[in-house]
Structure 1
Amino acid sequence: MGSVTGWAAVNGPLLIVGLGVLLIGLLLPWLTAGLSTDRWLRGSVVVAGVLACGGALWPMVRQDPGNDAISTASVGTPRGSSLTPAACVDTLSRRMGELTAASRLVSIAEAASAPARVDPIGLVSGSATGTYHAVADDLVAVARQQGVPLFNRETLGSLDNLRKLADPNENAALGFAQSDILAWLARSDDPANRKAAMLLRLVLPLYAEEVHVLARTGVQTLGDLAGRRVVTAASSQGSLHTAENLLRAAGVVPASLDSQQTAAAALCSVLTGRADAMVIVAGKPTPNLVSLDALRDHPARPLDSVHLLSLELPAGTVGYETARIDSGDYPWVAQPVSTLAVRALLMAFDFSPQRTAYQQRRCRQLQRLGRLIERELPALGQAPHHAKWREVDAQRPVSGWRRDTCSRLGGG
Structure 2
Amino acid sequence: MLVSTFMRRLGLGICAASGIAFGGNAQDADLSIMTGLQAGTYIQFGRDLSAIMQQCGTTLDVVESAGSLENLLALRERPNTQFGIVQSDVLEYMQTFAVDDPTVARAVDGVRIAFPLYEEEVHILARRDIAEFGGLNGKRVAIGALDSGTYLTASLMISLAGIEPAQVVAIAPDDALAQLEAGDIDAFFYVAGAPATLYSANAIDGERFHLLPVQDTTLQAVYTPTTLAGGTYGFQPDPVETVAVKAVLMTYDYDPRGNRYHQDSCRGVSDLSSLMLSNIDTLRREGHPKWQSVDLTDMPSGWDVSTCVSRGIDPDYVANCSVETP
Q: Give the structure-2-normalised TM-score.
A: 0.80
8 Å CA contact 1:179–1:320 kept in 2: the answer is: no
1:280 deviation in Å? 0.4
Structure 1 residues without counterparts, runs of 5 or longer: 1-116, 296-301
| Corresponding residue for residue 269 of structure 2 | 366
CA contact 1:180–1:318 (8 Å) conserved in 2: no
Shift of 1:410: 6.7
The match for 2:123 is: 212
- Whose helix fraction is larger, Structure 1's or Structure 2's? 1
Equivalent position SS for 1:274? coil
SS in 2 for 1:381: helix
Q: 1:317 to 1:202 in 2, by over 3 A?
A: farther
Q: What do the CA deviations read for 1:214-237 (whole angstroms, capped 9, x no partner)?
A: 111222222221221101443871
1:205–1:345 Cα contact (<8 Å) kept: yes
Post-superposition offset of 1:190: 3.0
CA RMSD of aligned residues (A): 2.5
Aligned residues: 286
Q: For residues 299-331 of structure 1, what are the alpha-carbon distances to aligned partners after superposition, in whole Å with 9 as ceiling and x for unaligned?
A: xxx431211111136538887212111122101
Matched, 1:179 2:88: yes
Secondary structure of 2:62 counterpart: strand
| Farther off after superposition, 276-285 or 308-317 | 308-317
| C-alpha contact 1:313 1:320 (8 A) present in aligned 2 | no
Relative to structure 1, the CA distance from residue 186 to residue 369 in structure 2 (aligned partners, 3 Å threshold; closer, same or farther) is: same
243, 248, 259: which one aligns with 2:170: 259
Q: CA deviation at 1:411?
A: 7.8
Counterpart of 2:292 in structure 1 is: 390
Check whether the contact 2:230–2:237 (CA below 8 A) recurs between aligned residues.
yes
The structure 2 residue matched to 1:291, chosen from 201, 205, 211, is: 201
Measure, in 1, the Cα distance between the counterparts of 2:108 and 2:218.
Answer: 24
**Paired letter, 2:246:** R
1:57-95 CA deviation, whole Å, 9 max, x = no partner?
A: xxxxxxxxxxxxxxxxxxxxxxxxxxxxxxxxxxxxxxx
Cα deviations by residue, 1:118-174 (Å, 9 ceiling, x for unpaired): 85311111111110001111111121012222121111111111121111x522111
What's the counterpart of residue 125 of structure 1?
Answer: 35
> For 1:341, which of 237, 244, 254 is the aligned residue?
244
The correspondence for 2:233, drawn from 307, 320, 330, is 330
Residues of 1 paired with 2:147 and 2:106: CA distance?
24
In our comparison, the structure showing a higher alpha carbon Rg is 1
Give the whole-Å Cα distance in 2 for the aligned partners of 1:394 and 1:151: 22
Q: How does 1:195-234 map to 2 (within 5 A)?
A: 195-234=106-145
Alignment match, 2:72: 162
Partner of residue 279, structure 2: 376
Shift of 1:351: 1.8
- Do 1:180 and 1:319's aligned partners in 2 also have CA atoms closer than 8 Å? no
Q: For residues 316 and 138 of structure 1, do their structure 2 counterparts lie closer, same or farther at Cα, with a shift above 3 Å needed?
A: closer
What is the aligned partner in structure 1 of residue 63 from structure 2?
A: 153
Contact in 2 for aligned 1:118/1:149 (Cα 8 Å) = no
Where do 5+ consecutive residues of structure 2 fail to align?
Answer: 1-26, 316-326
C-alpha deviation, 1:248, in angstroms: 0.4
Report if aligned partners of 1:201, 1:403 keep a CA contact under 8 Å in 2: yes
For 2:276 and 2:174, the matched residues in 1 are separated by: 34
List structure 1 runs of 4+ shifted beyond 6 angstroms.
316-319, 409-412
Percent of aligned pairs with the same residue?
Answer: 33
Give the residue type in structure 2 aligned to 1:397: M
Contact 2:173-2:190 within 8 A present in 1 as well: no
TM-score w.r.t. length of structure 1: 0.64
- Distance verdict in 2 for CA 1:271–1:215, change over 3 Å: same
Distance in 2 (alpha carbons) for counterparts of 1:314 and 1:403 = 33
1:136 maps to 2:46: yes
